[in-house]
Amino acid sequence: MALVGPVALRRRSVSRALLGLVGAGAIGLTALLFTATPFQGVLDFVLVAYLLYVVAQTAVSYAVEGARSARNRLALTLLVSALFLALVPLAAVLIYTVQRGVQAISPGFLTHSMNGVGPLEDAGGAYHAIVGTLEQVVIASVISIPLGLLAAVYIVEYGRGRLVYWIRFFVDVMTGLPSIVAGLFIFAFWVLGLHKGFSGFAAGMALAILMIPIVVRASEEMLKLVPNDLREASYALGVPRWRTIVSVVFPAASAGLTTGIILAVARVTGETAPLLLTAFGFDAIRTNPFSGPQSGLPLFVFSQAGSAFDVAVNRAWAGALTLIAIVLVLTVLARVLTRRNVLA
């Protein structure tokens, strides 16, 4: 005797139309509820309608399709809702920034500095800040990419035992380092300690401190993805270890390495706190990053947004939009490069 009866291969299922009906019903019922009782408010309405819909949908599904399908539908609905909820703040920030930024941005904004612009004037721009940000990020990259990459190569290809353990431990600690602390360190050590004063270079160093652990971690993961077979194939041809790393391991991991590095760059581009104590901020264009305070886009946004005047707040939004655009370009670039990964 069979323990399980014959399995019906064809099953009844809830149609889209019926689901739509359930949705409409939930909304209708909520509307009724809100007119008949003291319930009010848009958010409350959405919440009540949503809960009604979830309950009704599960009940209908249970009646038509059975318990398993009902559980499946309920779980799926909750998952999609969670995903949606997680995306809402992100979308809201992006949409709002673009809305405000587009109104405030202009060709003049991208080509002028704030030099000599009065507090109430609707003039000036972020050119000096864009120049500063680009220079600071390049400096941070020049310092941290080679260091981070070499550290990752050491960890993956050479390291054994305790030293690697401690290096990884320190990298982890550095990953959690509050960004203001990186700025404070450069401030104490470089700006004050060595009497170098504020400069774009000081900001670059502070950003580098934040960038190194990200580069190390990302590169480490990518190098580990390179199959050992390839290294062995190279060794077996009598290729020395360093040459194997440069000519076999790096090319195999190049797309992933580039992606990781670009994301690290994007990540520090928006850092504000470390700039406060290092670049300090400056209204005029300063192209030399080695002497004197310099502006940067995050600093620009920070100082303009803090103003009581609308013209300044508008400039802050335009600056924020510019910053998002730069980061977006970097992120998209990273995406495109990832798709070309030979290992993926």
Binding residues (CB under 8 A) for another protein: these are 160, 227, 229-240, 243-244, 247-248, 251-252, 254, 342-343
Report, in Å, the least distance between residue 137 CB and another protein.
Answer: 29
The three-state DSSP-derived secondary structure of 23-39 is HHHHHHHHHHHHHHCCC
Cα separation of 319 and 71, whole Å? 48
CB of 148 to another protein, least distance (A): 22
CB closer to another protein, 259 vs 295: 259
Based on CB atoms, which residue is closest to another protein, 141 or 259?
A: 259
Distance CA 196, CA 206 (A): 14
**Tokens, residue 189:** 């050590």
Nearer to another protein, 143 or 248 (CB): 248
Write down the residue that tokens 């790393």 correspond to.
Answer: 245
Choice between 240 and 306, CB closer to another protein = 240
- If you ran DSSP here, which 8-state letter would residue 246 be given? I
Tokens standing for residue 85: 């909820």
Strands (E), 59-169: none
Distance CA 266, CA 329 (A): 9
Q: Closest approach of Cβ 251 to another protein, in Å?
A: 4
Please state the closest distance from residue 228 (CB atom) to another protein, in A.
9
As a whole number of angstroms, the distance between CA 266 and CA 343 comes to 24
Question: φ and ψ at 271, to 5 degrees?
Answer: -65, 130
Nearer to another protein, 235 or 309 (CB): 235
| Residue among 65 and 157 whose Cβ is closer to another protein | 157
In angstroms, give the least distance from the CB of 235 to another protein: 6
Structure letter (DSSP) for residue 126: S
Residue 55 or 342: which CB sits closer to another protein?
342
Which residue type, as a one-letter code, is found at position 137? Answer: V
Q: Which amino acid, residue 44?
A: D
CB 340 to another protein: min, Å: 11
Shortest Å distance, C-beta 248 to another protein = 6
Nearest-10 crossing angle of helices 310-339, 250-269: 170
Report the 10 Å Cβ neighbour count for 134: 16
